[in-house]
Copies of this chain bind each other. A is one copy, B any other.
């Protein structure tokens, strides 16, 4: 039976902090918004050039998916940007084009994401039918050949789970005293890399099945673009500082050594080369565009330690709370803020660390 093919992924969920309180992702995602704003023009241009409408027709509905949508103002503005770009493309075919479709937008995130808030926040004058889709994007989420355009912004850095070996005491890849693979041993790096490859294979396999022939994926990935070393990336800095804070708290006796040893960040800072390799092995998709986003760190707000720290809290709080408990949150993130202030000189010259990829589904 066809429906039995639906693959369930027991992926861990790391949703951003819900609600709209002071530490919520909803209130702490201006950094991501800037990145998005800065890519707006680029995304519009890419869709204009790469979307092959004639091939996609005939269809009276155009399906757009936002993978890892979280909840907040960015969710809707990125989708609207894409919708406008698609609409422009249709309109460019002729002013009275009768084939302009209706739009249905699927907002996807892990099941614990705050969909109630997302639905409550939907723009009242939207030009699309809105739908929520719970589940991990490392598994199938949609029927075969049903999606015209996937979008994902700042979500693909999350692995489906922490590689098991790095938290096993008897494994050569045990990552004692650290919370990630960056500047760790070769074994730990290999374990994280294997997890990344396995996850990305699942991701591309699922999307290739779900995309219509000629359908596009527009991905904004915080990673390690060509010509950048991992240690130059913002992700590296944020994780290094978080690790330093946790180590301080172990020294102070607030957090046990064992707790720290058993905690790792399920994050991977991919490079375009690594992505290209997985896309090639998958075989169903073509990379149309791969561009470094170099303007993310251009604005003043980005150089604000408080903003950085609150963004870090919105992104990491649930993960930290789940493992270390709620009681350490305030102390940890106060420390995090202080460390960011001390390190502001390091933040300043830091290079951009995300890239845009546009992929197209080959004809079946």
Contacts and interface: CB of A to CB of B under 8 A. Distances in A.
Interface string A1-39: 111111010000000000000000000000000000000
Contacts of A125: 8
A198 interface: no
A4 B127 contact: yes
Contact of A115 (B2, B104, B132): B132
A140 B124 CA distance: 13
A101 to B, nearest CB: 7
Contacts of A112: 116, 120
B127 A3 contact: yes
A89 B314 CA distance: 49
A146 B61 contact: yes
Contacts of A8: 124-125
Interface in A105-151: 106, 111-112, 114-116, 119-120, 122, 124-135, 140-146
A100 interface: yes
B61 A104 contact: no
A133 B115 CA distance: 11
Contact of A133 (B100, B126, B131): B131
Nearest to A133: B131
Contact of A3 (B102, B106, B141): B102
A106 B122 CA distance: 18
Interface in A64-117: 87, 100-104, 106, 111-112, 114-116
Given A133-B131, A134-B130, A111 B104 contact: no
B122 A134 contact: yes
Given A61-B146, A115-B115, A144-B61, A101 B2 contact: yes
A60 interface: yes
A115 B146 CA distance: 23
A141 B119 CA distance: 13
Contacts of A111: 119-120, 122
Nearest to A117: B116
B131 A131 contact: yes
A270 B3 CA distance: 38
From A5, A115, A116, A145, residue with most partner B Cβ within 10 Å = A116
B6 A127 contact: yes
Nearest to A104: B143
A145 B6 contact: no
A97 B116 CA distance: 40
Contact of A134 (B6, B104, B132): B132
A2 B100 contact: yes
What are the 10 A-B residue pairs with the smallest beta carbon separation, nearest first?
A: A3-B127, A119-B134, A102-B143, A61-B143, A132-B132, A115-B115, A2-B100, A131-B131, A111-B119, A116-B116
Given A61-B144, A104-B143, 19 more contacts: A1-B100, A2-B100, A2-B101, A6-B126, A8-B124, A60-B144, A101-B143, A102-B144, A111-B119, A111-B122, A112-B120, A114-B116, A115-B116, A115-B119, A115-B132, A119-B132, A129-B140, A131-B132, A131-B133
23 contacts: A1-B87, A3-B87, A3-B103, A4-B127, A6-B126, A6-B129, A60-B145, A61-B143, A61-B144, A101-B143, A102-B143, A103-B143, A111-B120, A112-B116, A112-B120, A115-B116, A115-B132, A119-B134, A129-B140, A129-B141, A130-B135, A132-B132, A132-B133
